[in-house]
Amino acid sequence: MQLIAEDLVIERGGRVVIDGLSVAVSEGETLVLSGANGAGKTTLLRAIAGYVRPAAGTIRLDGGDSELTISEQAHVVGHANAVKSSMTVFENAAFWSEYLSGHASDTEQIERALRHFGLEDLVEFPAAYLSAGQRRRLGLARLLLAPRPLWLLDEPTVSLDIASSDRLVAAVNHHTSGGGLAIIATHVPLALERVRTLTIAPRRMAA
């Protein structure tokens, strides 16, 4: 499987922020997007996810399910944690499990995902009372609730301490070791395996 972007031109607010970008990410690989704030990292991720339509160029997932969109084959984690404050930690995870998989939630899988992100002692805790770091970990737990080949992560370490960031890195490395793809916009150095970096600057890209 390979994600391929060719000759992308992407506009934001009437201004071109990505101009003529071509890049490929193969199975088992992580691509880290680096660059200054406003350079276009989030815009590029949103375009890959299908939330922003490029002004020109193409994006495709070779080897994926031709009947599904790229977003339907991807986990997309942005700045919002998508946590429902009125629900418990477990209820939030169960909601995402059903939504992402399309079938009844798997209790064992939910417990594994919450345990991986250090939330096993908070399953019945109302999400409204979680700290910022705990809410972020709960938002990230959905990565492990349904298998999807492509992970698109925008500044995923926001609000995470070092130990929690290590949990995320372990999840990403396990995903790519099994043939998954990941594209991550981050300012934080992470001990990722099988990784390349794409540095984005205004109107120019350098791999």
Map out the domains of the chain as residue ranges.
Answer: 2-206
Check residue 207 and give its pLDDT.
Answer: 41
Check residue 206 and give its pLDDT.
Answer: 40
37 pLDDT above the threshold of 90:
no
Instruction: Report d(CA 155, CA 152) in Å as an integer.
Output: 10
Q: What is the mean pLDDT of residues 137-158?
A: 96
Closest CA to 195 of 151, 163, 144: 151
Check residue 203 and give its pLDDT.
Answer: 55
Q: Residue 101: which pLDDT band, with cuts at 50, 70 and 90?
A: confident
Complete edge-to-edge strand list for the sheet that includes strand 56-62: 15-26, 2-12, 56-62
CATH superfamily, region 2-206? P-loop containing nucleotide triphosphate hydrolases (3.40.50.300)
Check residue 13 and give its pLDDT.
Answer: 85
Check residue 12 and give its pLDDT.
Answer: 86
Nearest-5° Cα angle at 68, 64 to 69: 95
Sign of CA dihedral 63, 65, 71, 75: negative
* Polymer length in residues for the chain: 207
Check residue 39 and give its pLDDT.
Answer: 85
Check residue 124 and give its pLDDT.
Answer: 97
What is the percent of the chain where pLDDT is above 70?
A: 97
Instruction: Report d(CA 114, CA 144) in Å as an integer.
Output: 9
The answer to whether the CB of 145 falls within 8 A of the CB of 97 is: yes
18 pLDDT above the threshold of 90:
yes
Tens digit of each residue's pLDDT (9 = 90 or more) over 110-124: 999 999 999 999 999
Tens digit of each residue's pLDDT (9 = 90 or more) over 149-205: 999 999 999 999 999 999 999 999 999 999 999 999 999 999 999 999 999 886 544
The answer to whether the CB of 111 falls within 8 A of the CB of 143 is: no
H or E stretch including 185?
A: strand 181-185
